[in-house]
Chain A
């Protein structure tokens, strides 16, 4: 057995702790499971507000088990996903801070064994408590008559999600130095990656919803959890009926996933998505285990991951631009109304493109933050190159400036954007005829300018300077515009828009508002304001990029010389 898993079992499952875990696990599980089961097994009366009559659903064991399944899954998730994730993040960071991780780093076990040892060993008690829930699960699935094959699929996805959450926590613990900060940041990272990001799937980027177990749950299990004897209910019924109606709607939501021209099963798609994130996290953990001082990602891995992200974005948005099909709320909106309604169609196009550009920008920011060298690393590179008598370091080495890789990211994003716009023009369902260059050009300039000034500021300053600069530039103007709007309403509309345009994320919506102004019935004056604001945003981005790039070049030249002189004199 992996020594680290054995260590986890020894540390966390001694007799006293075992007794406490059994008591805690059984009390929590039996309380929630039995309450839900017994409640569901009783006759249920559902009131109809319209007819003012009750309908009665006859109580049965099968209904009890079906209503308890979700609760049981929640309890299991609480043990493994909530308690386990916190444990992995805080102990990893504690071990790193105390130096215990260094002992492990020096052993000849390969990094993958060490990572799996931490992932399975640290939450040993949580896994044990999960085992205590299995008799309840067995009872629930048998009585509720849920097909085992579907349960198997759900639990495969459940465990891959657990590993994903724990790996996220482990990587956070390895990257963040302070245990308390690591614990918080891991929670925020888990929430961001697996709750907020999936919410963007409602804007048509279907693949993001597959970061969680929800699609598999609603696609594979929920259809089998319908109460026996329960008619289809609508909003005219009391809350219990409405909940039931919502469940049915949700299970329709996550059926097969449209991707390019294919339809992929939700469980398979979830695996693909989770495998992608697992790979990214494993690369980071592997590098950190090998050498703590390495950046979390090499430039090469970063470029590959970005290319995969763009491929997934393209595949998810392909059906939307080619045929007007979209998943999530957007899909519902588009299918509910006809695409002939120009306003609705233009709004959908604007939303999807803004989310696409925004998401790509966040990915570029992440790449720059992780893969571009700060000042220290860059200077180390200069000294190493000098020592090894190299003219310059390899293009993708950690210490080399990230200028060219960042430009490549911008080109990738704009190419995908251009392909989507080409699909839009070729499609018969859309009535938009704006030229590719006119649509893609402005977002390209904004992306380029933003990426270049982010890269320059990353390499000019240390972490605090870089993050502080971006926060000031991107968030503060938004807050200021809120105050102005609250105080003076529309009086300073132009100023408010210009303030907002300082954040590059808002330039694309302004550009698209101007582009689709006619379809969206925007007045001439307002259209010209959007145009001015758009160009203001573009000029700010490009101006900042030029200024900071020049400053970076200026700073590096004399320092390289100084360094040379210093080393010569030594």
Chain B
């Protein structure tokens, strides 16, 4: 598992990560999201012992990272967002180099390299020089190298950034499988729909601080209570605005087009409250033929964070 407590990282006078705390359970996938410059990569690098934090505590599988970096490194597999590879090595030699560096030799090393290439669908490319690979393929080679020493903790910075849709689905399946095998996975990504499907928990970062953390449902439920209701009516209705004015949970009504048949309303409340709104509209004579409560998504939350709407407020 990973535990981060009160982590602070400075780059010169700029505070990249400010007093951040979170934990990732063993066998789970934790997603870090946030706009560029939020401090995701810095956090991952600090856990990976590649940046020395100003202060804070990081524990990986029971090992305090700052005090025992060498021991902690054995447990971790780190994959950066940009995939640098040794251009003049073949894919197999690239993985072999790291298997060897992690102390594997002979048949065990060979088997492990083949297994990782198989997992990342690179078996047929193993004899090719890394410099001839596409960016997506390089990313896969990097993932194979990251897995080659069987790390119990995986730190993946934007792992799907350069992959095509099929490779992304494969990656997602692979990461779920690895988590089921008991590995702890920390992943950062901008592809939010993927995180929603992949992660057991997420942390939302902004300007170096964690503004929300927990399971996806928890984080969403803690977010802004305002929901959007989309409504369609069969014929234009002159009474609509006066009926809406009598419903206190609706704060805004806006037409979606000029036909006057489709609207969006800002609604404060849950599904039960939304049902009451529908009831009041029908009672008020509004000819409702479509009524839909829009589900809040991680993407919406991300946009909220990015636009800074949540200043001074934390969902957690």
Residues of A participating in the B interface, judged by any CB pair closer than 8 Å: 3-4, 6-7, 10-12, 14, 98-100, 102-109, 290-294, 376, 379-380, 383-384, 387-388, 570
B13 within 8 A of A: yes
Chain B positions 35-81 with a Cβ under 8 Å from a chain A Cβ = 48-52, 54-55, 69-70, 73-74, 76, 78, 80
Q: Assess whether A293 is in contact with B73, with CB atoms less than 8 Å apart.
A: no
**Chain B residues positioned under 8 Å from A292 (CB to CB):** 50
Closest chain-B Cβ to A347's Cβ sits at a distance in Å of: 49
Q: Assess whether A570 is in contact with B73, with CB atoms less than 8 Å apart.
A: no
Task: Across the interface, name the chain B residue whose C-beta is closest to A293.
Answer: B52
Q: Assess whether A98 is in contact with B84, with CB atoms less than 8 Å apart.
A: yes
Contacts beyond the supplied A99-B82, A107-B101: 17 A-B pairs with Cβ under 8 Å: A3-B100, A4-B97, A6-B100, A7-B93, A7-B97, A10-B93, A14-B88, A102-B48, A102-B78, A103-B145, A105-B50, A108-B73, A291-B69, A376-B10, A379-B10, A383-B55, A384-B54
Q: Assess whether B10 is in contact with A106, with CB atoms less than 8 Å apart.
A: no
Task: Across the interface, name the chain B residue whose C-beta is closest to A384.
Answer: B55
**Chain A residues positioned under 8 Å from B76 (CB to CB):** 106
**Chain A residues positioned under 8 Å from B55 (CB to CB):** 383-384, 387-388
B125 within 8 A of A: no
Residues of B participating in the A interface, judged by any CB pair closer than 8 Å: 8, 10, 12-13, 19, 48-52, 54-55, 69-70, 73-74, 76, 78, 80, 82, 84-86, 88-89, 93, 97-98, 100-103, 145
**Chain B residues positioned under 8 Å from A12 (CB to CB):** 88
A-B contacts, 23 of them at CB < 8 A, read: A4-B97, A4-B101, A6-B100, A7-B97, A10-B93, A11-B89, A12-B88, A102-B78, A105-B49, A105-B50, A106-B49, A106-B76, A106-B78, A108-B74, A108-B101, A290-B69, A291-B52, A291-B69, A293-B51, A380-B10, A384-B54, A384-B55, A387-B55
Task: Across the interface, name the chain A residue whose C-beta is closest to B83.
Answer: A99
Docked pose: A290 CA to B70 CA in angstroms: 9
Closest chain-A Cβ to B91's Cβ sits at a distance in Å of: 13
Asked, given contacts A106-B73, A106-B78, A108-B74, whether A380 binds B54 with beta carbons under 8 Å apart, the answer is: yes
The 9 closest A-B pairs by CB, nearest first: A3-B100, A107-B101, A98-B84, A11-B88, A387-B55, A293-B52, A3-B101, A99-B84, A106-B73
Docked pose: A159 CA to B193 CA in angstroms: 58
Partner of A376, one of B13, B78, B93, B102: B13
Q: Assess whether A107 is in contact with B73, with CB atoms less than 8 Å apart.
A: yes
Partner of A383, one of B8, B12, B73, B88: B8
Partner of A100, one of B10, B74, B84, B102: B84
Q: Assess whether B80 is in contact with A102, with CB atoms less than 8 Å apart.
A: yes
Among A3, A6, A106, A376, the most chain B Cβ lie within 10 Å of the Cβ of: A106
Task: Across the interface, name the chain A residue whose C-beta is closest to B88.
Answer: A11
**Chain A residues positioned under 8 Å from B50 (CB to CB):** 102, 105-106, 292
Docked pose: A294 CA to B52 CA in angstroms: 9
Among A108, A294, A379, the most chain B Cβ lie within 10 Å of the Cβ of: A108
Closest chain-B Cβ to A95's Cβ sits at a distance in Å of: 8
Among A99, A109, A388, the most chain B Cβ lie within 10 Å of the Cβ of: A99
Docked pose: A105 CA to B70 CA in angstroms: 9
**Chain B residues positioned under 8 Å from A104 (CB to CB):** 101
**Chain B residues positioned under 8 Å from A388 (CB to CB):** 55
Q: Assess whether A107 is in contact with B102, with CB atoms less than 8 Å apart.
A: yes
Partner of A108, one of B48, B70, B89: B70
Docked pose: A380 CA to B8 CA in angstroms: 10
Docked pose: A103 CA to B130 CA in angstroms: 16
Docked pose: A11 CA to B78 CA in angstroms: 23
Among B8, B50, B85, the most chain A Cβ lie within 10 Å of the Cβ of: B50
Task: Across the interface, name the chain A residue whose C-beta is closest to B94.
Answer: A7
Closest chain-A Cβ to B10's Cβ sits at a distance in Å of: 6
Docked pose: A293 CA to B85 CA in angstroms: 23
**Chain A residues positioned under 8 Å from B8 (CB to CB):** 383
**Chain A residues positioned under 8 Å from B86 (CB to CB):** 7, 11, 100
Closest chain-B Cβ to A32's Cβ sits at a distance in Å of: 30
Asked, given contacts A11-B86, A103-B145, whether A109 binds B19 with beta carbons under 8 Å apart, the answer is: no
Docked pose: A3 CA to B19 CA in angstroms: 39
Docked pose: A541 CA to B17 CA in angstroms: 42
Q: Assess whether B98 is in contact with A107, with CB atoms less than 8 Å apart.
A: yes
Task: Across the interface, name the chain A residue whose C-beta is closest to B90.
Answer: A10
**Chain B residues positioned under 8 Å from A7 (CB to CB):** 86, 89, 93, 97
Task: Across the interface, name the chain B residue whose C-beta is closest to A107.
Answer: B101
Closest chain-B Cβ to A226's Cβ sits at a distance in Å of: 47
Task: Across the interface, name the chain B residue whose C-beta is closest to A3.
Answer: B100
Task: Across the interface, name the chain B residue whose C-beta is closest to A105.
Answer: B50
Closest chain-B Cβ to A555's Cβ sits at a distance in Å of: 13
Q: Assess whether A99 is in contact with B52, with CB atoms less than 8 Å apart.
A: no
Among A4, A103, A384, A387, the most chain B Cβ lie within 10 Å of the Cβ of: A103
**Chain B residues positioned under 8 Å from A4 (CB to CB):** 97, 101
**Chain B residues positioned under 8 Å from A293 (CB to CB):** 51-52
Task: Across the interface, name the chain B residue whose C-beta is closest to A95.
Answer: B84
Q: Assess whether A383 is in contact with B100, with CB atoms less than 8 Å apart.
A: no
Docked pose: A379 CA to B13 CA in angstroms: 9
Q: Assess whether B52 is in contact with A376, with CB atoms less than 8 Å apart.
A: no
Q: Assess whether A383 is in contact with B98, with CB atoms less than 8 Å apart.
A: no
Closest chain-A Cβ to B205's Cβ sits at a distance in Å of: 17
Closest chain-A Cβ to B64's Cβ sits at a distance in Å of: 14
Closest chain-B Cβ to A462's Cβ sits at a distance in Å of: 8
Q: Assess whether B102 is in contact with A10, with CB atoms less than 8 Å apart.
A: no
Asked, given contacts A292-B50, A376-B10, A384-B55, whether A109 binds B101 with beta carbons under 8 Å apart, the answer is: yes
**Chain B residues positioned under 8 Å from A100 (CB to CB):** 84-86
Task: Across the interface, name the chain B residue whose C-beta is closest to A7.
Answer: B97
Q: Assess whether B49 is in contact with A6, with CB atoms less than 8 Å apart.
A: no
Q: Assess whether B97 is in contact with A3, with CB atoms less than 8 Å apart.
A: yes
Closest chain-A Cβ to B84's Cβ sits at a distance in Å of: 4
**Chain A residues positioned under 8 Å from B82 (CB to CB):** 99
**Chain A residues positioned under 8 Å from B85 (CB to CB):** 100
Docked pose: A379 CA to B55 CA in angstroms: 12
**Chain A residues positioned under 8 Å from B51 (CB to CB):** 293
Closest chain-A Cβ to B46's Cβ sits at a distance in Å of: 11
Task: Across the interface, name the chain B residue whose C-beta is closest to A290.
Answer: B69
Closest chain-A Cβ to B83's Cβ sits at a distance in Å of: 9
**Chain A residues positioned under 8 Å from B97 (CB to CB):** 3-4, 6-7
Q: Assess whether A99 is in contact with B80, with CB atoms less than 8 Å apart.
A: yes
Docked pose: A216 CA to B226 CA in angstroms: 83
Closest chain-B Cβ to A46's Cβ sits at a distance in Å of: 52
Closest chain-B Cβ to A114's Cβ sits at a distance in Å of: 9
Q: Assess whether A376 is in contact with B12, with CB atoms less than 8 Å apart.
A: yes
Q: Assess whether B89 is in contact with A10, with CB atoms less than 8 Å apart.
A: yes
**Chain A residues positioned under 8 Å from B13 (CB to CB):** 376, 379
Closest chain-B Cβ to A87's Cβ sits at a distance in Å of: 13
Docked pose: A7 CA to B93 CA in angstroms: 8
**Chain B residues positioned under 8 Å from A3 (CB to CB):** 97, 100-101
